[in-house]
């Protein structure tokens, strides 16, 4: 497919293939790898097919493309390739926005030079967010363990910048859902909040959460929410259920000593647990003291009706008139996150493709477990980012994964599609 002036030139590259069967796909991959090894440039390989069996290979240099193609042909796993059958899974796609824990040093940096659309959003947010965006992303100063008021606005900024790049290609979600902090980006992408108002919400929310931190902790435990709640009640101190992530995955939070005591007790019983990289206790009584101030500082919000369906993870049956208001954001910070219920609702509406938008996946296991419980056969669950992988590469891998399941790639997408092997090619 030809590139337009609005799309940054490679590298990185995304190569797409299609064939009538897996054997022909493998043959094409071997031939393309050989051509590249002989010095062919990826841009010189141009052919677009629409057969059902598909392969996508993305990498930052020709050597990575060769490796991805060769690994696929040899049946070896690699993040550089993905394959699938164009079965219509991408006819309905949900965008999912995660919360704290997805941050990594250097996230978003590559977007500034690669995507004009993402860079424009990050530039706007640089003026809207108290600590700015551009310098923190350039310097990677936030690192892994920054406080909520510096880390969470940057996560939000990367989320909406990635969404802006996808929308610049003409890709829009059929629904959005957010987990905790991720609801702010979901509200903006849905059209309920302007970028300015969304930046205001994330600024106030993260600042007040930092103020209420007080030595709190959070952890994911592999228990259903009801069992987790009963176990929380048995621990001295304050620890409560903070999120219903999946049927057998629950986030707990409270004071650090009580939360760590619960984790130690469960791990001794063989229950898988993971501490979340945050020194706060959102969705717990620890934030009660800041909720009046949050409502007061956000009192002037005037949200619009969402243009894209927004599945709330706060309210089971939300009043449309109360979505994205100041009181909604107070409930968002205090109530347990109803993520698994929201994903179940999407699954029952026939949504089979789920894209996690953010710097690094934190929702993928919960998505897969919930969809499995709902009996969804072969869903597509994919992330837009991966820790330590520049966004241009991970975003092209995302496009490739969507294409392999049926998405017609936009004409503006930076893609080149190698021609299938012919008998003459095979010599």
Domain ranges of the chain: 13-86+411-426, 93-213+284-374
* Surface-to-core class of residue 410, CB atoms within 10 Å of its CB (0-12 exposed, 13-18 middle, 19+ buried): middle
Number of Cβ within a 10 Å radius of residue 11? 17
Give the pLDDT score at 147. Answer: 83
Give the pLDDT score at 144. Answer: 57
Is residue 7 over pLDDT 60?
no
For 284-330, write each residue's pLDDT tens digit.
999 999 999 999 999 999 999 999 999 999 998 888 878 999 999 99
Percentage of the chain beyond pLDDT 90 is 78
Is residue 423 over pLDDT 50?
no
Using DSSP's 3-state secondary structure scheme, residue 357 falls into strand
Q: Where are the alpha helices (DSSP H) in 84-147?
A: 109-114, 116-128, 134-139
Gap between the Cα atoms of 396 and 384, Å rounded: 9
> pLDDT tier at 243 (50, 70, 90 boundaries)?
very high
Give the pLDDT score at 320. Answer: 80
Stretch 344-365: mean pLDDT, rounded?
Answer: 97
Gap between the Cα atoms of 238 and 223, Å rounded: 18
Gap between the Cα atoms of 222 and 265, Å rounded: 13
Give the pLDDT score at 417. Answer: 55
Percentage of the chain beyond pLDDT 70 is 91
> pLDDT tier at 5 (50, 70, 90 boundaries)?
very low
Only one residue has tokens 């940057």, namely 154
Matching CATH number, 13-86+411-426, of 3.40.50.720, 3.30.70.3290, 3.10.20.600, 3.40.50.200 = 3.30.70.3290
For 96-151, write each residue's pLDDT tens digit.
999 988 999 999 999 998 999 999 999 999 999 999 999 998 886 445 557 889 99
Stretch 27-56: mean pLDDT, rounded?
Answer: 86
Distances, alpha carbon 171 to alpha carbons 314, 328, 391, 394, 407, in Å: 27, 28, 17, 16, 10
Give the pLDDT score at 138. Answer: 86
93-213+284-374 folds as Malonyl-Coenzyme A Acyl Carrier Protein; domain 2 (3.40.366)
Instruction: State the average pLDDT for the chain.
Output: 90
Gap between the Cα atoms of 155 and 362, Å rounded: 12
For 58-102, write each residue's pLDDT tens digit.
999 999 999 999 999 999 999 999 999 999 999 999 999 999 889
> pLDDT tier at 252 (50, 70, 90 boundaries)?
very high
């Amino acid at each position: 497919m030809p590139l337009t002036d609005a799309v940054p030139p490679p590298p990185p590259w995304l190569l797409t293939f299609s064939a009538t069967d897996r054997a022909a796909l493998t043959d094409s991959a071997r031939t393309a790898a050989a051509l590249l090894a002989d010095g062919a440039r990826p841009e010189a390989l141009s052919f677009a097919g629409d057969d059902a069996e598909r392969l996508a290979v993305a990498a930052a240099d020709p050597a990575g493309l060769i490796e991805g193609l060769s690994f696929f042909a040899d049946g070896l796993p690699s993040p550089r390739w993905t394959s699938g059958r164009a079965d219509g899974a991408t006819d309905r796609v949900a965008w999912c926005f995660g919360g704290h824990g997805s941050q990594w040093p250097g996230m978003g940096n590559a977007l500034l030079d690669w995507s004009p659309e993402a860079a424009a959003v990050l530039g706007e947010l640089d003026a809207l967010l108290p600590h700015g965006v551009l310098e923190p992303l350039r310097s990677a100063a936030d690192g892994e363990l920054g406080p909520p008021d510096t880390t969470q606005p940057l996560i939000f900024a990367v989320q909406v910048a990635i969404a802006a790049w996808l929308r610049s290609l003409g890709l829009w979600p059929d629904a959005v859902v957010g987990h905790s902090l991720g609801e702010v980006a979901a509200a903006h992408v849905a059209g309920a909040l302007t970028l300015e108002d969304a930046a205001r919400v994330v600024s106030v929310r993260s600042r007040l959460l930092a103020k209420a931190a007080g030595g709190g902790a959070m952890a994911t435990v592999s228990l259903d929410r009801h069992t987790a709640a009963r176990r929380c009640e048995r621990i001295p101190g304050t620890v409560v259920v903070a999120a219903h992530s999946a049927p057998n995955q629950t986030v707990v939070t409270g004071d650090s000593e009580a939360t760590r005591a619960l984790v130690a007790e469960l791990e001794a019983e063989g229950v898988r647990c993971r501490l979340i990289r945050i020194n706060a206790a959102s969705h717990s009584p620890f934030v009660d003291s800041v909720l009046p101030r949050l409502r007061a500082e956000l009192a002037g919000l005037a949200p619009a009706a969402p243009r894209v369906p927004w599945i709330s993870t706060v309210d089971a049956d939300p009043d449309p008139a109360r979505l994205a208001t100041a009181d909604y954001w107070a409930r968002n910070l205090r109530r347990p996150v109803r993520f698994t219920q929201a994903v179940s609702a999407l699954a029952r509406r026939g949504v089979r493709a789920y894209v996690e938008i953010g710097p690094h996946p934190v929702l993928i296991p919960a998505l897969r477990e919930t969809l499995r419980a709902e009996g969804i056969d072969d869903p597509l669950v994919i992330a837009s980012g991966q820790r330590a992988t520049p966004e241009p590469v991970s975003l092209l891998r995302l496009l490739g994964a969507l294409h392999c399941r049926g998405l017609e790639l936009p004409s503006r997408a930076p893609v080149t599609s190698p021609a299938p092997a012919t008998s003459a090619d095979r010599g």
